[in-house]
Structure formats: C-alpha cells, structure tokens
Amino acid sequence: MPELSRRRALTAAAALATVTAAATLPAAGPAQAAGHHDDPGTFDEVYKGRRIQGRPGGGSGHHHHHGAGYAVFVDGVELHVMRNADGSWISVVSHYAPVPTPRAAARAAVDELQGAALLPFPAN
C-alpha cells in the first residue's frame, strides 16, 4: 500500500469537503438557484415597537426601479429602498450604511429614526 503524502491527504480532504457541501445544499434547478439571492421574499414583523413590512412589487415614481420592484414600510409609511449593484440594500434613512436585505434596511431605518415618525418621501 503506498504511503499517504501530505498532498494526497489535502486533496482527499478538499474533495470530501466539496462533496459534503454539495450534499447539504437544497435541491434546486438552475433558474431557482440563480434567483434565490435576488428574491428577498416577504416579511411583516414588529421591530423595537415599530411595524416593518416588505413585499415584492409596489413603489412609485422614478424610485420604483431603484428598489428592484420591492416595497418596504415602517408603520405603514413607505421607506424608499434601493438595491446596489453588489446586491446590498440602502434606504433613504440609512443611505450610507448598506445592508444585505430589505428587512435589514427597515430595521436600520427604525434604529436611525430613534422613535421619530418616518415621513412620506415625495416622489418626483
């Protein structure tokens, strides 16, 4: 039996890690896998006493295309969000702090508002 070299051991470990990682991924077709990160889904929760909601669709005026067809609300008032090229999200309230999801953008806005009401943002 040949002796196990460090190179062979590392190759075997890498192959095992790849197989293990692939086995734990959910089964999805190519279209589903590609769209998974593009679809933030829907949420409706109370965060720090404020109701935050998000759902596909919505938006109005020229801001509609920036939010990639996604609407976010804080206490029923629309929070204008925008998706960056890298997939992160920003809002009109926390414009310089990108976050990974619209839900995180809503939570960041609530944090930034510190109890103040979100005022409607006039669309052009």
CA distance 67 to 89: 8
Q: What is the spatial distance between Cα 23 and Cα 17, in angstroms, rounded to a whole number?
A: 10
- CATH fold of 43-113 reads protein ne1242 fold (3.30.1880)
- The three-point CA angle 118-52-78 to 5° equals 45
pLDDT tens across 43-62, in order?
999 999 999 999 998 545 44
| pLDDT tens track for 51-97 | 999 999 854 544 444 556 899 999 999 999 999 999 999 999 988 99
**What residue segments make up the domains of the chain, in order of their start?**
43-113
Query: pTM value?
Result: 0.62
Conformation bin of residue 39: beta by default, left when phi > 0, alpha when psi is -120 to 50: beta
